Structure 1
Amino acid sequence: MLSLRQFQQFLAVAETMSFRRAAEHLNMAQPPLTATIRQMEAELGVRLFERTNRINSLTAAGEVLREEAQRTIDQAERAVALTRRAGTGEIGSLRIGFVASAVRQLLPTLIAEFRESQPGVVLELEEAPSARQIAALLEDRMDLGIVALPLPSGAEPRILTQTIVRSRLVAAIPARHPLANALHTPLTLAALADEGWVLFPAAEGPGLHSTILRACAQAGFTPRIVQRAVQMETIVGLVAAGLGVALVPSLFAETGREGVVFRDLVGHGSPIAYEVALTRRKGNNLPALEAFIQTVLRVLSLR
């Protein structure tokens, strides 16, 4: 198998048509260079140069080798350059999961900022509930998760978290419901005890699901769940249709929704914390991942 060094020496001779000038260009003695060309010819079983007392021209085989050797050298140099860029996070790909309700307004800015600073990195985005993201992180099917805390039980030892948003849950109430219009009266969690609830399945976000049930227990009741839905848009849509009430992140509520009134909660069981975190598997130190995290922190610092 010919080496890159042999290719480089052969190309120098092919370019100068002189062992002496090629040796000077390569900063080496002429005899080892001549020996290299003879060794290549012996290994390939062909003559590479037409020569008498000096080199006259490349043979047909030599012409083919010059073209392929140059292509190989160029590819090797490209591989080195790309590897170095990947090592600094300039190129590569990132698999990122997110909970839409958590970063509904933030995500477009994050993507735009990151693509401007790291145009060589391809982002593979997937909207998914927190529990699915954690499972994907642990199975190395995802590099970064943007999830709602707390993490599922048992995941903490293997996952690194960095909280980026600290907020609260608010009540989503059908616009025609009496509680939606009693704005002069503070709304307690206990006031929702007799209502039907729209809630996400526990398996999709066990940590937050447990937080909500604990808050309701502190307010003296267990919510009567009449509908389940995974996506926050669907949950709020069901509330707008009058099927029940729900608790949603205040970040989500800021954008508003026709047919729904969002109200803060007071009293026992409230406020109910809603925290969003960047999560990744321990040991995943991809430079591109670090660059994305820094972009998130920079964007948040400007808000």
Structure 2
Amino acid sequence: MSRVDFLDFRLYQIQLFLVVCECKSFTTASQMLNTTQSAVSKSITSMETTLGFPLFERKKNRLELTEASRILYAEWKHAIRNIQSSIDKAYSAYYKRQSSLIIGEPDSMRTDKDYLPAIKDFQVMHPELNISFVEKPIGELISNLLTDELDVAITVDYEIPSLKNLDVNWKIIAESPKLTIIMHINNPLAAKDKLEIIDLKNEEFIVMSPLGHQNYIDLLVRLCNAQGFEPKINSSAPNARSMMSTLIRSQSGIVLGNRFLYDGNSPELKHFELDNTESSLIIVWKNQTERPIVNDFIKAVVENEQYKDVN
């Protein structure tokens, strides 16, 4: 006896079999399925031939299920319902997704003022669109984008080196425009009018943790190495907000930052812009996005010049 594979049957055949089981009549089943009685009969006969055993006992005015067909009916009815349910759920999820836009933002930087006006304008043009914002650690934004948990990610340009080997694209949407050195007003260097990187040779830096922020640390190292020294790293914080909080509360150390940092405007801090540096906010998206609304959103944010160079 050869084994029969489920793939030997079409789903329509299985659905037809289930209807016949419930009607116990080829004629009634054909009427329900809007087909001919002979087509129903031929389909059942074909299934019986493939299976190698009868599915019904054909009596004068009705069909009776065999023991084998009762087993198939119970199992297949459940399977077909699950298949239909999964299709319905997938359909619902797809169209719900089509009417939404999920934007990932750094959880410790105040970046939204640079692009929120553009988003509000875009929402006016697309009132059916549900736009939501999700704050994530910088190190998680791109990975979440790649797994389709986000439609676009907003992050800082020191993340660009890690994007080059990924199937993503990016554009600048706002500029800092320069990197800054931030310190407590009680730091002796705060009395100066201007600072350069070389002036920080003996200072201790507070940085974000290498876990998820390695690109930030690499940027700091590159800047210092270009002036012939290694940065002295005093402590690390889990994110930019904690880094700034540490600086304010300890009143010691210095931070490499930009205007996007939370608490950067604290009266307890002093900022020094670093010449010949730049810092930008970028929007990142997957190259092969199949959602036109995502491309429309990116175009609206990137091409609207009035939202760039916000100070």
Deviation at 1:190, TM superposition (A): 3.9
Contact residue 236 and residue 243 of structure 2 kept, 8 A: yes
Amino acid at match of 1:249: N
Report whether the alignment pairs 1:54 with 2:61.
yes
Q: Tell me the SS of whatever aligns to 1:173.
A: strand
Q: 1:125 to 1:78 in 2, by over 3 A?
A: farther
2:283 to 271, 278, 281: 278
Q: Distance in 2 between matches of 1:234 and 1:49?
A: 73
Gaps of 5+ in 2: 1-5, 124-128, 302-306
Q: Distance in 2 between matches of 1:124 and 1:4?
A: 41
Deviation at 1:223, TM superposition (A): 8.2
Alignment partner, residue 189 of structure 1: 195
Cα deviation, 1:30-70, whole Å, max 9, x if unaligned, reads 22311221232343344433431232443443333233222
Contact residue 229 and residue 235 of structure 1 kept, 8 A: yes
Report whether the alignment pairs 1:177 with 2:187.
yes
State TM-score, norm by structure 1: 0.63
1:247 to 256, 261, 283: 256
Report whether the alignment pairs 1:232 with 2:243.
no
Q: 1:28 to 1:226 in 2, by over 3 A?
A: closer
Contact residue 48 and residue 59 of structure 1 kept, 8 A: yes
Superposed counterparts of 1:144-159, under 5 Å: 145-150=153-158, 151-152=160-161, 155=164, 159=168
Contact residue 221 and residue 230 of structure 2 kept, 8 A: no
Alignment partner, residue 137 of structure 2: 127
Amino acid at match of 1:8: Q
1:13 to 4, 13, 20: 20
Deviation at 1:173, TM superposition (A): 1.7
Alignment partner, residue 162 of structure 1: 171
Contact residue 244 and residue 263 of structure 2 kept, 8 A: no
Q: Distance in 1 between matches of 2:284 and 2:85?
A: 33
Alignment partner, residue 126 of structure 2: none
Deviation at 1:19, TM superposition (A): 0.9
Amino acid at match of 1:149: D
State TM-score, norm by structure 2: 0.62
Deviation at 1:20, TM superposition (A): 1.3
Deviation at 1:252, TM superposition (A): 1.9
Q: Distance in 1 between matches of 2:197 and 2:15?
A: 81
Deviation at 1:18, TM superposition (A): 1.8
Q: How many residues align?
A: 271
Alignment partner, residue 85 of structure 2: 78
Q: 1:154 to 1:5 in 2, by over 3 A?
A: closer
Q: Distance in 2 between matches of 1:206 and 1:100?
A: 18
Q: Tell me the SS of whatever aligns to 1:28.
A: coil
Q: 1:27 to 1:83 in 2, by over 3 A?
A: same
Contact residue 96 and residue 143 of structure 1 kept, 8 A: no
